[in-house]
Structure 1
Amino acid sequence: MWLNLLGRSAKKILLRVVALLLLSLLSACSQQIERQTCVPLASEAQYCLSSASAVLAMSSQQDISLSQMVSFTHGQENHELLTQLELNSQRMTLVGLAPLGQALFTLVYDGQTLQSQQSLLLGEQFKAEYLMAIMQLIYWPTEQINQHLTGGELVTIACDMPLCKQLIDASGALITITYNDIDPWSAQVNVDIDVADIHMQINPID
């Protein structure tokens, strides 16, 4: 058992070290962009990023670190990336790596501004603020999300999974989020964004 625990800890530490090393390479072939902190999620619904303070207040930890494998499906297109999500009292940081380890982006939200440093390969079509907003919809308390959401509401719904949420507006469901564990940080998370025909699956890496 101890060997398994040590193995999982070493793997998480290695992922964080690799992410930091690749970020140093990213700076040599990337662009720095200040992003909008409010994003439209549909014709009426708009979400503005919020700080991690309420999330940390509900946690026994002073900071949160989560390694993830994220899969995207849009129509016939499929993509995967590794992410490292870091939360502390000052900022929320999200690092993205391609499956083979190429540095793709780093996002830093300090509660006021969202800075995006991203590979030139991503081009201008990559909208970092949307990815950050989706991460907050998944992990932030529902009450906090709704304080920063206009034209819609995030609600918990009955389903055959341990936890399910929907972002709804007057026209119906916009985004459906399902968790295979009552603890979102431990769960495999599926996100269906019907209006954009996008499906995401997020798996924590132990």
Structure 2
Amino acid sequence: MKRLHILLFPLLLALGACGEGDGEAPCAPLIGGGSYCLQPTTALAPFDVQQKVEATFRGRRETMIAEIESDAEGMRFVGLTPFGQKLLQVAYDNRAASAATLPDRRISPALLIALLQIALWPADAVRAGLEEPLTLDENAGRRRILNRGEATISIDYRGAQPPYRGLRIAVPAADLELEIETLEALDTIAADGKES
């Protein structure tokens, strides 16, 4: 468990330990330059998902379980160790991002929500959140955030719609790669077992 804290703390700091902007929507500076302003959660159909996250940061690999819930009221994210200990808890109420639990106060809750939105929100909503010079490049199964033509975040998808069956997110400037797999709900597994 201590190993996971040792990995997650520098990983989150590398992604951007910055505060929120003063604009209409909270904005988060992104690694590689530029900012992303959080978009309303109504841009996406409500969902509730549990995912396994394999994080590789500077050659070290760790696992986290992420629980994400998004609806018209906002978005909630909880990161857990594989044994269920809460590592971080972040929320966005469509006005501000906040954290109940973070491994370090210098980590911006808005940045964590921004990364989730960049990965999951519809392309038009992501474009609306990007501030110049950032642009979004998207084609079949792949999304990239570009800063003056250079990819700063790359996302590859498995599945047709959010929250997707799987994602691979790369942030080269941070030497970070996330392999994310959506876990089946226990009730779905139980229902499948009863039908067999």
What interval of TM-score do these two structures reach, taking the shorter chain for normalisation?
0.7 to 0.9
What is the Cα deviation at residue 43 of structure 1? 5.0
Q: Which residue of 2 aligns with 1:154?
A: 136
Indicate the SS of the match to 1:186. Answer: coil
- 5 Å-filtered alignment, 1:13-32, equals none
Q: TM-score, structure 2 length as denominator?
A: 0.75
What is the Cα deviation at residue 125 of structure 1? 5.1
What is the Cα deviation at residue 145 of structure 1? 0.7
1:51·1:92 contact (CA, 8 Å) conserved in 2? Answer: no
Q: Which residue of 2 aligns with 1:140?
A: 121
Identity %: 22
Aligned residues: 160
Q: What's the C-alpha RMSD, in Å, of the aligned pairs?
A: 1.8
Amino acid in structure 2 at the alignment position of 1:83: A
Q: Which residue of 2 aligns with 1:168?
A: 146
2:36·2:129 contact (CA, 8 Å) conserved in 1? Answer: yes
1:43 and 1:76 map into 2 onto residues whose CA distance is: 20
Q: Which residue of 2 aligns with 1:40?
A: 29
2:32·2:173 contact (CA, 8 Å) conserved in 1? Answer: no
Q: Which residue of 2 aligns with 1:191?
A: 169
1:185 and 1:114 map into 2 onto residues whose CA distance is: 20
1:198 and 1:143 map into 2 onto residues whose CA distance is: 26
Aligned: 1:117 with 2:106? no
What is the Cα deviation at residue 123 of structure 1? 2.8
Aligned: 1:64 with 2:20? no
Amino acid in structure 2 at the alignment position of 1:155: D
1:164·1:176 contact (CA, 8 Å) conserved in 2? Answer: yes
Any stretches of 5+ residues in structure 2 without a counterpart?
Answer: 1-18, 21-25, 185-196
Any stretches of 5+ residues in structure 1 without a counterpart?
Answer: 1-34, 57-62
1:177 and 1:81 map into 2 onto residues whose CA distance is: 18
What is the Cα deviation at residue 90 of structure 1? 0.9
